[in-house]
Amino acid sequence: MQAILLAGGKGTRLRPYTAVLPKPLMPIGEVDPLPIMEVVLRQLARFGFRDVTVITGYLTQLIEAFFGDGRKFGTKLTYRRELTPLGTAGGLALMDRPDESVLVINGDILTTLDFAEMYRFHVDRKASATIASYPREVKIDFGVLEFGDDPHVLAGYREKPEFSFQVSMGLYILDPVAWDYLTPGAPLQMPDLLETMRGAGRPVHCFKEPCYWLDIGRHDDYATANEVFEARRRSFLGDPSQGDGTAEADLRSHIGSSVIERGPISFAGRSKINPGIGRGQ
């Protein structure tokens, strides 16, 4: 099965770290840290998505140098570069129209979602697109005032209320028909693509499953991801004793002592990138 991994963003919310390191290479875990994109790739392989196209745009050379052809992670990688930012959906037009449904995933999410089960849901539902959905609680840190017809007469007052929403996990299944709504070279965000498809009568469904999910795009969430991954590594990577650790064992066999280091970043022992990259260039 095919997957597309979106790795072109600049990660501006994680600066200054992402000034020298693309977000997909941000390490998670305290002991033997892994780049977040490596975690995603190993999950894709474990669920049967081994043919992976990576769409890059920012510090592309570092991503390609680290991950190579993907064999060390149980995948076969090809790369497509955005010359200008194309949004979360526009870059899909860099690929030819696929022959079957494709999983599309952001390269910076930490989740225990069963990708294969989501794919089966998509096929069984005969959907044109499926979005992975997650419940998210949002707390307002202020007292919220409510008004009726008269904007000067108080109708309600709630202290620091919480609201519950279903949010996109940044993980989708798209049928080939989605490529009919793409224009090569034109920026497009995923919500706009899916709303256009829905408006055209294409069925867009949502997949919900009890799981863990976190987008590491903010400093607080990145810190949380490190703690959670360290405590629950097996739930994200599978049980090596059950045959899920082949890529990890193979990877460990070639780990050297190379280090990428500049500014606040020190990322040791994981990469085959020339140590000169990131040092005073």
Q: What is the pLDDT of residues 73-130, one digit of tens each?
A: 999 999 999 999 999 999 999 999 999 999 999 998 999 999 999 999 999 999 999 9
130 and 172 in contact (C-beta within 8 Å)? Answer: yes
Question: Token pair for residue 64?
Answer: 């390609």
Instruction: List the CATH code of the domain at 2-134+167-268.
Output: 3.90.550.10
Domain boundaries defined on the chain: 2-134+167-268
**Number of other residues whose CB lies within 10 A of the CB of residue 176:** 14
Enter the tokens of residue 261: 């280091």
Share of the chain above pLDDT 70, in %: 81
Query: pLDDT, tens digit, for every residue of 124-148?
Result: 999 999 999 999 999 999 999 999 9
Q: How many Å apart are CA 229 and CA 129, to the nearest integer?
A: 29
Question: Residue 195 belongs to what H/E stretch?
Answer: helix 190-199
Whether the CB-CB separation of 218 and 94 falls below 8 Å is answered with no
Whole-model pTM: value is 0.81
Which two tokens mark 256? 């050297």
- pLDDT interval class at 15 (50, 70, 90): confident
Identity of the highest mean pLDDT range in 54-58, 110-114, 216-220: 110-114
